[in-house]
């Protein structure tokens, strides 16, 4: 192993590992490690993009969750009320018997959207949170 690499160990559900193996095979990665390095780079990039959001942002926060997990549905509803100034619309979709997806249309500050998405990620039962926004203040800065 090269000197600039560090070995780490992870515990993942078997189904997720099977999905990773499908990605490795489907995208012709040399190894799981190479695929995981790409996935980690993407995660770090997403984190840096979200933490750098400033000014007014418009877009969506998509949440995939298991609606049978604890009180996730009630807590998400409470969060939507708490962030009512930033959330301008909500769409709810039943993906399977257990899994739901909500798309929250947002129009607020980067800090508000960041706090909302971080609090959603922290909920038990939430499988994935994806933020896609555009800088609404960009038009004011362009000539």
Return the CATH number at 104.
3.30.70.1150
Give pTM, 2 decimals.
0.77
The reply to whether 103 and 37 lie within a common domain is no
Phi, psi of 67 (to 5 degrees): -75, -5
In a domain, 9, yes or no: no
The reply to whether 103 and 133 lie within a common domain is yes
Q: Which residue has the higher pLDDT, 47 or 106?
A: 106
Domain that holds residue 77: 55-137
Percent of the chain having pLDDT more than 70?
94
Pairing, β 126-135 against β 87-94:
unpaired
The answer, yes or no, to whether residue 92 has pLDDT greater than 90, is yes
Q: Residue 136: count other Cβ atoms within 10 Å of its Cβ.
A: 15
The reply to whether 45 and 74 lie within a common domain is no
3-class secondary-structure state, position 131 = strand
CB 47 within 8 A of CB 131: no
Mean pLDDT of 77-88: 96
103: left (phi over 0), alpha (psi -120 to 50) or beta: beta
The tally of domains found in the chain comes to 2
Share the mean pLDDT of the chain: 91
The tokens for 72 are 């996730």
The reply to whether 27 and 78 lie within a common domain is no
The reply to whether 44 and 87 lie within a common domain is no
CB 125 within 8 A of CB 66: yes
In a domain, 45, yes or no: yes
In a domain, 143, yes or no: no
The answer, yes or no, to whether residue 140 has pLDDT greater than 80, is no
């Amino acid at each position: 192993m090269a000197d600039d690499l560090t070995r780490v160990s992870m515990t993942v559900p078997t189904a997720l590992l099977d999905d990773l193996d499908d990605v490795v095979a489907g995208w012709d990665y040399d190894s799981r490690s190479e695929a995981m390095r790409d996935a980690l780079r993407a995660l770090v990039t997403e984190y840096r993009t979200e933490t750098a959001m400033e000014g007014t942002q418009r877009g969506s926060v998509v949440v995939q969750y298991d609606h049978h997990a604890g009180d996730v549905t009630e807590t998400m509803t409470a969060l939507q009320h708490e962030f009512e100034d930033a959330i301008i619309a909500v769409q709810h979709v039943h993906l399977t018997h257990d899994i739901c997806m909500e798309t929250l249309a947002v129009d607020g500050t980067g800090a508000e959207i960041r706090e909302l998405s971080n609090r959603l990620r922290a909920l038990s039962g939430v499988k994935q949170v994806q933020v896609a926004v555009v800088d609404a203040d960009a038009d004011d800065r362009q000539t």
